[in-house]
Amino acid sequence: MLSPEEWSIVALSLKVGGVAVLATLPLAFALAWALARYRFPGRVLLDGLVHLPLVLPPVVTGWLLLLAFGPLGPIGRWLESWFGVSVMFRWTGAALAAAIMALPLMVRAMRLSIEAIDRRFEGAARTLGASRWHAFWTISLPLAFPGVLAALVLGFARSIGEFGATITFVSNIPGETRTLPLAIYSALQIPGAEAMVTRLALFSVALSLGALILSEWLVRRTHAERQRHGD
Amino acid sequence: MPKDSGMAIDIDVEKRRGERIIAARFTAGPGLTALFGPSGVGKTSLLAMVAGLLRPDRGHIRIGTRTLFGDDVDLPPEARRIGYVFQDGRLFPHRRVRANLLYGHQLAAPGDRWMGLDEAAAFLGIGHLLDRWPRSLSGGEAQRVAIGRALLAGPEILLMDEPLSSLDAARRGDIMAVIERIRDELKLPILYVSHDRAEVDRLATEVIALDG
């Protein structure tokens, strides 16, 4: 089906996407929780910032990342001097770009599932002796869990498809930052590589469709469960 | 059996909710104290204040010698040792009956517990339901499990918010018999909210009429 070179492109994409969503997960959940449950000053601004990558041209997001994480950028300089690491032109940079682009989708999906939790269950847990924290771990989090999974899957699919911010931020380096979309784009520039384009494109379609169906199924399952329990 | 069944309940609270002011002031002895009144006078809010789920604007809530609220005290719900049986049962949908029953039991200090799982299951006739999911229970079964869950947490007093309202006539009789046994055999003080005269006449040791 795919050549070894194409498989390595797929493997890199899966690595970049996987690291991106897993590393973003705690932050995305905390943001979703704060936005769903609390009213605080700056909430609207925070909501806007989280959603910004959804509407900003990806090339602008990539450029902003370049400014922040570049050798002279505030974060990049700090990473370099304290840890001696740089995400520039590295697969970690591609994962960072993918994470930023996936964040809004993940926060949205988790926020919906958090808002769908019947808070009266938490009250019931408190009267049974659970602290706020214990009620969170034993009641709220398990009830939100299918939504969190759906957000992971959706964020993963988005990460795998990331193009604009990635190519702007970490360029298009074979074996390091050349993920599926970048590889397809590169192959399109080479005469006679149509077969490779087709194979990689079909693989992308299958991957994305599978992820969408899986996340839809997870969300639907939660709703069905809620309905069966009444109000 | 609960340690001290002669516990006095002393409540004097006030809470503004939007346009409405919910206020109540009464003392009650052991047995079942019915808070009786039409829908919308804030009976459920009153129970929520006793449980610590809603903060009164002023006043005090005392059970026996313990102050739950007032005099610069405001115990969180988990420290109040109050069993709350909700109108809708409110069983955790992601836990089986057994795990629902044991939720509060496992959190309670061993010295505070006064009933074990087997005893509760026998008392309520729910032993055959332990491995079921809440969604598969009938209304009457769910309410029994909800009562069991509250008892197993070792409360000093039980709050019941119209526990019969979602049940048909036959089930009502069953659950009323259970409540009478909690009152008479376990001698657990109960604060019972209802707007049904017949229920109150049958169950109440003392009736507090609430009006708006």
Q: Which of B58, B67, B42 is nearest to B161 (CA)?
A: B42
Cβ separation B52–A225 shorter than 8 A = no
Tens of pLDDT, residue by residue over A41-77, are 999 999 999 999 999 999 999 999 999 998 888 888 8
How far does B17 lie from chain A, in Å, by closest CA?
18
Cα separations in angstroms, B103 against B2, B108, B121, B148, B152: 19, 9, 15, 11, 9
The least confident of A53-57, A122-126, B64-68, B207-211 is B207-211
B86 contacts on A by Cβ (under 8 Å): 120, 124
- d(CA A17, CA A159) in angstroms, rounded, equals 5
- The interface residues of chain A toward chain B in range 132-161, judged by CB-CB distance below 8 A, are 132, 134, 138-139, 142-143
β partners of residue B62: B10, B67
Tens of pLDDT, residue by residue over A88-109, are 889 999 999 999 999 999 999 9
Q: Which of A29, A31, A28 is nearest to A40 (CA)?
A: A31
Q: Which of A44, A47, A17, A48 is nearest to A31 (CA)?
A: A47
Tens of pLDDT, residue by residue over B130-144, are 999 999 999 999 999
Q: Are B203 and B192 in contact (CB under 8 A)?
A: yes
Q: Are B52 and B76 in contact (CB under 8 A)?
A: yes
Q: What is the structure's pLDDT at A227?
A: 52
Nearest by CB to A128, from B94, B103, B135: name it. B103
Q: State which amino acid sits at residue A221.
A: R
A231 contacts on B by Cβ (under 8 Å): 88
Pairing of the two strands B66-70 and B73-74: antiparallel
B51 contacts on A by Cβ (under 8 Å): 123, 127
Cβ separation B103–A228 shorter than 8 A = no
Nearest by CB to A127, from B82, B92, B93: name it. B82
- State both tokens at A191: 């005469």
Nearest by CB to B90, from A120, A130, A228: name it. A120
Cβ separation B107–A225 shorter than 8 A = no
Q: Are A133 and A52 in contact (CB under 8 A)?
A: no
How far does A217 lie from chain B, in Å, by closest CA?
18
ipTM over 0.90: yes
A173: contact with B, CB 8 A cutoff: no
A125: contact with B, CB 8 A cutoff: yes
Q: What is the structure's pLDDT at A222?
A: 65
Strands (E), chain A: none
- d(CA A189, CA A194) in angstroms, rounded, equals 10
The mean pLDDT of chain B is: 91
Q: Which of B89, B19, B88, B9 is nearest to B49 (CA)?
A: B9
Nearest by CB to B53, from A121, A123, A139: name it. A123
A116 contacts on B by Cβ (under 8 Å): none
How far does A125 lie from chain B, in Å, by closest CA?
8
**pLDDT band for position A230 (cuts 50, 70, 90):** very low
Cβ separation A127–B88 shorter than 8 A = no
Tens of pLDDT, residue by residue over B23-49, are 889 998 889 999 988 877 888 999 999
Average pLDDT over residues B182-208: 91
Q: Are A104 and A51 in contact (CB under 8 A)?
A: yes
Strand order in the sheet with B190-194: B82-85, B157-161, B190-194, B32-36, B206-209
